[in-house]
A = this chain, B = another copy of it.
Amino acid sequence: MALSKEIGITVKKAKDLSEWYTQVVTKAELADYAPMKGFMILRPYGYSIWEKIREYLDRRLKETNHSNAYFPLLIPESYLKKEAEHFRGFTPEVFWVTHAGENQLSERLAVRPTSETIINEAYSRWVRSWRDLPILINLWNSVLRAEITATRPFIRTSEFLWQEGHTVHATKEDADKEVMMILEFYRQLVEEQMAIPVLLGYKSEKEKFVGALYTTTLEAMMPDGKAIQMGTSHNLGQNFSKSFEIKYLGKDEQTHYAWTTSWGASWRLISAMIMLHGDDKGLIVPPRIAPIQVVIIPIYYKTEDTGAITNKVKSTADRLTKAGIAVHADSREQYTPGWKFNEWELKGVPLRIEIGPKDVEKKQVTLVRRDNSQRHIVNDDAMLSDVQRCLEEIQTELFTRARSALNGSISETSDYDRFKDTLNDHGGFIRACWCGSPECEEAIKNDTGATIRTIPLRDEKPFSGCIHCGKAGAKVTYFAKSY
């Protein structure tokens, strides 16, 4: 039985992103494969990143009067069928429960693929009057959708953790506002906390959520030229309220169908963070989302140093903790400092503090940034402010670097051959004009594998006819291959 484990990443990110990704996920102990094909175990370190995401979003939602609730995991087939398009969309992916113990159930139960149907049944009972509106409920749970294609941790798994919000409003305008407010929360989470720049916009009719009036999305670009969807926020119109009879008596004494929205973001966010910021040594976690922002590693040469170093490690950790910085002092005796450096670099802790005999003697500490390996020495007096400044700089620089990568990935073209060449060559977003027809959209997908990732929220000035059919009156649209 081997005592040591191979912890380093053995492949270059630029050479084989896919293998690099798998190694980072498993070796940094973010996640592990489960015995059942398509399922993943979220390990403690990965879960602690998910907790940071959840805390941020939960706070924003509570500040705006959203409440959490819990709805059952199992949904009767007849409920899923109430919104016909929705049912057609999800049914190939549904896990079906047919037995409880030895007894066959009289009706099959779906393991929740999403909760619109079961929550709207309740809303139809809870909503009576305009006084009851809006209803703003969010669920933190897991959903299951059978994946037939190859699975990848965090990106494509048959079960994933997410939040799903479901709201009811009196008017379309109120529902529109909700959809856009949530999209903005997602943008702030993704760009400002996770340092991942995104394009915002609408999905096409073909790509929108099944059963929605319209879908808005956030799209990030990965280093291999493929886009990844970071969250979606849907105006469901009156489709579900009509299927589920969600009606209210208005101030006008008339009954009206309500307007509903739904929106979700999942642990997939973590996959983009890994791919975008990581390097050949492993993960780099942006400071604002890092469960451990600073790791302190004591460096002993002689036994007589131990006491003073241990004390300084403790007092440094205490100062940082008091200032609200998430710090971990790694005092394990069974590992060398070098081993610890590698482990915490692999896990992407943004800042390392080394404390050795010389640091004690000179009343200083040594700081090492994870993102660029820069090391510098700082006096004890200036330690706290320097750590704070470093963390802010890392956050900003990660975002700035990613922002220029995103901008650099966008190719604009009005020529379909160049469109195809670019996709074959290096991918990225293609900014092109599209006439709006599902036929052109389908043809482009068949020719190139690229889909419409997003149509800008505000129309951008078209610069050509449709990239596929050449027809005039086309809209600026972003295409890409995607995860």
Contact = CB atoms under 8 A, between A and B. Distances in A.
Interface in A91-111: 91-103, 109, 111
Q: Is the interface of A mostly helix, strand, loop or mixed?
A: mixed
B249 A3 contact: yes
Contacts of A1: 128-129, 247, 249, 255
A141 B125 CA distance: 27
Interface string A48-78: 1011000000000000000111111110100
A13 to B, nearest CB: 26
Contact of A47 (B32, B40, B43, B69): B69
Copies of this protein in the complex: 2
A79 interface: yes
A73 B334 contact: no
A44 B67 contact: yes
A125 to B, nearest CB: 8
A131 B42 contact: no
Contacts of A69: 41-44, 46-47
A35 interface: yes
Contacts of A137: 44
A73 B39 CA distance: 9
B39 A74 contact: yes
A3 B128 CA distance: 7
Between A35, A121, A141, A247, the greatest number of chain B beta carbons within 10 A of the residue's beta carbon is seen for: A35
Interface string A131-145: 100000100011010
A39 B131 CA distance: 28
List of 10 A-B pairs having minimum Cβ-Cβ separation, nearest first: A44-B67, A100-B146, A42-B70, A39-B72, A92-B101, A96-B99, A98-B98, A34-B72, A95-B97, A47-B69
